[in-house]
Amino acid sequence: MLKTKVLIVGGGPAGSTTGRFLSLNGIDNILIQKNFDYRKPCGGGIRLDTFDKFGLDKKLIYKTVKKVGIGYKDKKITIDIKEKQEEL
């Protein structure tokens, strides 16, 4: 049987960041994740500067968001965000 000080349920941004923080500070933890499906990123996306902040290799990027759409009833606004990403 595995024993740990902290059990983290869910490997999304909050769970994985918590696990990393605890590990860096020498606190024993186990992270469990129900599904390992990387086709849908957590919460819709992660800012590109997050990779630099946490020292992650940008080769891990699966997809990038090029446009964002907001709609209500018959109205829709689409915003091209590619240029903004390149600034980061």
Mean pLDDT (the chain, rounded) = 82
- Please check the confidence at residue 31 and state whether its pLDDT lies above 90: yes
Which position has the higher pLDDT, 19 or 53? 19
Which position has the higher pLDDT, 52 or 19? 19
Contact 15, 22 (CB under 8 A): no
Tokens describing residue 55: 């020292």
pLDDT in tens, 36-77: 765 655 555 677 888 888 888 888 887 787 888 889 999 999
Say which residues have a Cβ less than 8 Å from residue 72's Cβ, sequence separation at least 6.
none
